[in-house]
Amino acid sequence: MKYSFVISSILLSTFSTTLAAPVNPTAAAASADEGDEYIIVLAPTEQRPWGQVFTDMGYNMTSRAHDISINKHSFGTNYGDLRTFGKEFRGFTTHMKATDAASLASLPNVLSIEKDVKWTVKVTRNNDTYGTHSVGDNKWAWPNAKRQLQQNELNQVWQQSTAPWNLARISTAQALTSNGREVIDLKFNYQFERSSGLGVDVYMLDSGINTAHADFGGRAKMVFTAFGSDITDGHGHGTHTAGTVGSTTYGVAKNVNLLGVKVLDSQNAGSLSSFVAGVDFALSSHLQRKTQPGFKGSIINMSLGGPGFAQPLFEALQRATQAGMHVAVAGGNDNTDSCQFSPAQFSQLLPIINVGATNVVDQKWEGSNFGKCIDIYAPGDGIVSTSNKGPQANEPMSGTSMACPAVAGAMAVELFKNPSLDPAALKKLIVSKGLSGTLQGGIQGPNLLLNNGLRAVG
């Protein structure tokens, strides 16, 4: 996942949650200002109906509002050229000039205002080298997958001998040896707890999920889209990351509920406003789910990001973590300081886990970002997981996008055992179980590799 900045730079350059009004442009600049798309986030105290809010702001509300949702897949409502989002975190987007943005920022019911941006999430697809494969005979049979677990089975430790290398690496203390195996072979050993992730919801903010893939065992479903009625995964990035979190063959936590939140299109690109709306949807869903029987916790996996400090996204994730949601984010793939990117840099301010990527010989993957904002590294090079190409297809990909869901899966494993852990406590636990000093090649930042503590032989 390599980030590339597509639209204009972000207005905010501080960590403040309140935006200072932009400097007024000169008359010449104002006359040339054709406007931009902006994200306006309302203060938490502003709870009035949208019509009243917009009328007070001076918008013409003669255009009839129309809902742009399909079933549960809701992005918001259009009021003319205004597009609302959020239930727990209220905001809207609109096209306006910088002078109008400055005026709007001064209103007491506006928390922040910022130009919307579009980020393209790039990932290294290894098909040119390895090709697209079918699970075929390598598919690991999960016995009685739909049967409810008995109490005496919950703490059982199982071993999978048909695992990809990344799963083997996080369940052993020793470096992997080839023993005639290729990186993409499903011939590695993975030890895991039978209960892994049972009752945990993982919201995949990504390009969607191929929910028809056999390896999800019916546990994956789409719950949100920022693209009208499109809930398909046209790229494959989202299906791949979901597979690493919790598919039967390729997943860390093989019992989790995988919830697709589509915020990236078929080019793996999406807007900042869509990401914020996706977080808000996950938060709203979490607040409903937390009172239901069997619920163990909620995790947001964000294998995406872009440069700069994205204030609306920070505010959304801050509210999510305050509500008890756990978050794993990708460190970025520019081989530079991860602190330059969002949401990666939020790990210094919020109890979220920022993940860098390693290769099969325990070195930092060549494209992975690094630095103090990285909390832990996980395998991210040549990772085989579920594909959007069919119900049994798999595909190898590389990037911090592939490392991040391994951490999300590990978080789900721990949440089943102790659902009372708050985000800060779970982050501390995941970090404490990591292998220290294992990584080679001059790691900048924490020399810490994800591990589940079972210490199998890979």
Which residues are catalytic, by number? 206, 237, 401
Tokens found for residue 245 = 């979190």
Tokens found for residue 421 = 């852990």
Beta strands across the sheet bearing 36-42: 66-70, 73-79, 82-85, 91-96, 36-42, 110-115
Query: Residue 408, SS3?
Result: helix
Which residue from 167, 140, 134 is spatially nearest to 380, judged by alpha carbons? 167
Tokens found for residue 42 = 């309302």
- Which 8-state DSSP code applies to residue 9? P
Query: Residue 165, SS3?
Result: helix
Distance CA 74, CA 221 (A): 15
Which residue from 458, 379, 410 is spatially nearest to 189, judged by alpha carbons? 458
Phi first, then psi, for residue 56 (nearest 5°) are -65, -25
Tokens 């697809």 belong to 125
Residues β-bridged to residue 66: 78
Nearest-10 Cα torsion for 388, 389, 391, 396: -70
Residues β-bridged to residue 5: 119
Indicate the angle between helix axes 400-417 and 237-246, nearest 10 degrees: 30
Which residues contact residue 402 at a Cβ distance below 8 angstroms, ignoring those fewer than 6 apart? 1, 123, 166, 240, 241, 244, 303, 357, 379, 380, 381, 383, 385
Determine if the peptide bond prior to 143 is cis (ω within 30°).
no
The count of C-alpha atoms lying within 13 angstroms of the C-alpha of 223, restricted to the half-sphere facing its C-beta, is 23
Tokens 């090079």 belong to 381
Query: Residue 373, SS3?
Result: coil
Distance CA 206, CA 398 (A): 16
